[in-house]
Amino acid sequence: MKAINKRGGVSIVLISTLYSMSVFSSEPSVQDPYIEGFKAYAEEVKSYSNDLNHSLLSYVDEVKKAEKQVGYIGKALPIPKATKVTDGVYTVVGSMIWHNPSNFGLNNNLSFIIFEDGVFVFNAGANAALAYSLHQQIKAITDKPVKWVAVENNQGHAYLGASYWVDVGVKNLYSSQAANDQFDAGFERTKQEWSERVGKNITLSARNVSDQFTTFEDKMVIEVGGGEKVYLYDFGPGHTPASTTLYIPSRKVFFTGDLGFNERMPVFFKYTDSKGWIESYEAMMAKIPEDTIIVPGHGTPTDMATLKRQTYDYLVYLHTQIEKIVEEGGGLEEALTLDQSMYQERPVFEQAAQNNVKHVYNEISGGDF
Ligand SMILES: [Zn+2]
């Protein structure tokens, strides 16, 4: 018993065991499972050691304090290593399929750029565990602190990890005004959905920090040191009603957010405005030079021509073809026979193709969807 009483060795082993169990289990729990586990252990030992009970309880308090300060306590998740895009620009390419427990909700791209004054993170991640894991990769590359965080839109995988970045001291957070309002309004629903799909234990600690964000309408410029500037643009509705894209002319790199899908099929949700997406994409092409390196919202980094083929040309193809069918008096049945076989190698083709046709058909014909 004495050995356990000395805080250190034994309790550290217990901590990591408890935590690694909680990260990977899908048991529902509203409380932090790590702290709850320790409280239960304190209760259990009460009968045979008052000392140990007290030391465990004070440990719980310490951990609560520490957890708040560092944003997350636990193991780094086994996520892919960041790919170097260009000088000082990195991205962790997320899974190309739906968010689920095996990818921890990492099914979009999480990126960071090292500037003279600090590190700029693009996308907060779907939860604190992911944000922490990304942070560990940043720390392995640079000693500079994370100074800025921007999120591509109001979706869970862009935004729910934001409270981690606030906890570790990031003061400059950015989002398009409309996306920030949408995230704020839908926070509980978004958190619920992502905790059910990805795992309650890594999601439920997310807090609504939308009031800490600096927002913009169309454009915002941020000075990042060394004479470099980051341009944030919201080119308008598309995959989501509003979005934040990030252009860094000095590195010739542009982060499209969900305006751009590379390998993965563009997917449409209820709130997707596919016609608006085409127009927003055109506004983006008018602003961003053709020789810019692209980090898309989904898929690997690429060039403007490839991204246009993978996103814009696909959207235009759907619209032109389905408009023709509707004009000729064709119904949904006919629209659903539209040939999309040239895209069948793309991830999530099966789940997206027919649904996309229905969505565009309903947009054009004014039907419900
Ligand atoms: Zn997304």
Residue 16 maps to a domain: yes
The answer on 357 and 224 residing in a single domain is no
59 Cα–ligand 1 center, Å:
39
167 Cα–ligand 1 center, Å:
24
278 Cα–ligand 1 center, Å:
17
Residue 65 maps to a domain: yes
The answer on 260 and 203 residing in a single domain is yes
The answer on 28 and 149 residing in a single domain is no
Instruction: State the chain's mean pLDDT as an integer.
Output: 87
Identify the CA nearest to 109 among candidates 252, 249, 300. Answer: 300
157 Cα–ligand 1 center, Å:
7
Residue 155 maps to a domain: yes
What local confidence, expressed as pLDDT, does residue 33 receive? 55
Q: ∠76-79-82 over CA atoms, to 5°? A: 110
297 Cα–ligand 1 center, Å:
7
Residue 76 maps to a domain: no
CA distance 100 to 105: 6
CA distance 67 to 265: 38
Res. 264: pLDDT tops 60: yes
Residue 212 maps to a domain: yes
Q: What is the pLDDT of residues 324-350, one digit of tens each?
A: 999 999 999 999 999 999 999 999 999
CA distance 232 to 243: 10
Residue 75 maps to a domain: no
The answer on 210 and 109 residing in a single domain is yes
The answer on 323 and 178 residing in a single domain is no
99 Cα–ligand 1 center, Å:
10
237 Cα–ligand 1 center, Å:
13
Res. 5: pLDDT tops 50: no
Whichever domain contains 178, its CATH number is 3.60.15.10
Contact 94, 297 (CB under 8 A): no
What local confidence, expressed as pLDDT, does residue 11 receive? 38
The answer on 343 and 260 residing in a single domain is no
Res. 4: pLDDT tops 70: no
pLDDT mean over 145-161 = 97
Structure tokens at 23: 């990260």
Residue that finishes a domain, picked among 268, 284, 312: 312
109 Cα–ligand 1 center, Å:
9
Structure tokens at 137: 């990769």
The answer on 171 and 109 residing in a single domain is yes
158 Cα–ligand 1 center, Å:
7
Q: What is the pTM of this model?
A: 0.82
CA distance 68 to 91: 27
Structure tokens at 78: 């086994």
Residue 77 maps to a domain: no
98 Cα–ligand 1 center, Å:
10
305 Cα–ligand 1 center, Å:
21
Residue 78 maps to a domain: no
The answer on 254 and 121 residing in a single domain is yes
The answer on 162 and 100 residing in a single domain is yes
154 Cα–ligand 1 center, Å:
9
The answer on 150 and 265 residing in a single domain is yes
CA distance 229 to 221: 7
Residue that finishes a domain, picked among 70, 96, 111: 70
Q: Which residues of 283-305 are buried (b: 16+ CB within 10 A; e: fewer)?
A: ebeeebeeebbbbbbbbbbbebe
Token match 């814009």: residue?
312
Q: Which domain covers residue 44, as residue numbers?
A: 2-70
318 Cα–ligand 1 center, Å:
20
DSSP 3-31: HHHSSSHHHHHHHHHHHHHHHH-----SS
Number of domains in the chain: 3
191 Cα–ligand 1 center, Å:
15
The answer on 321 and 277 residing in a single domain is no
CA distance 289 to 287: 7
347 Cα–ligand 1 center, Å:
14
The answer on 220 and 342 residing in a single domain is no
